[in-house]
Amino acid sequence: MAADRTADYDDANHAQLGDPVKGAALVVEVAAAEKLPTHLYLGRDTLERLDVKYQQVRDDLAPWREKSAATAHDDAA
């Protein structure tokens, strides 16, 4: 099993969509920034996946938002 996993990694190595030099340069730039992000997403493919995820969350939340908020204690602010 471990040999299979290693072979999978070997097949994927150097086949990533991102440019590691550009990614590292952005990490250095961000590290020098005054305010650090909570998360740093790298790559167009990552951003596209995030867009899909955010839309799924919005779609799930929309029909239940009001009822979900109404579950707070009556004395809650």
> What tens digit of pLDDT does each residue of 17-31 get?
889 999 999 999 999
Show the DSSP H helices in 1-77 as ranges: 2-12, 20-31, 44-61, 65-69
> What tens digit of pLDDT does each residue of 50-69 get?
999 999 999 999 999 999 99
For residue 1, what pLDDT is reported? 78
Q: Note whether residue 52 is domain-resident.
A: yes
- 23 burial (CB, 10 Å; 0-12 / 13-18 / 19+) is middle
Q: How many domains does the chain have?
A: 1
Q: Note whether residue 62 is domain-resident.
A: yes
Residue-number span of the structural domain to which 38 is assigned: 16-69
For residue 2, what pLDDT is reported? 79
Q: Note whether residue 2 is domain-resident.
A: no
Is the pLDDT assigned to residue 77 strictly greater than 70? no
Q: Note whether residue 11 is domain-resident.
A: no
Q: 20, 17, 21: which is closest to 48 by C-alpha?
A: 17
Q: Note whether residue 3 is domain-resident.
A: no
Q: Note whether residue 75 is domain-resident.
A: no
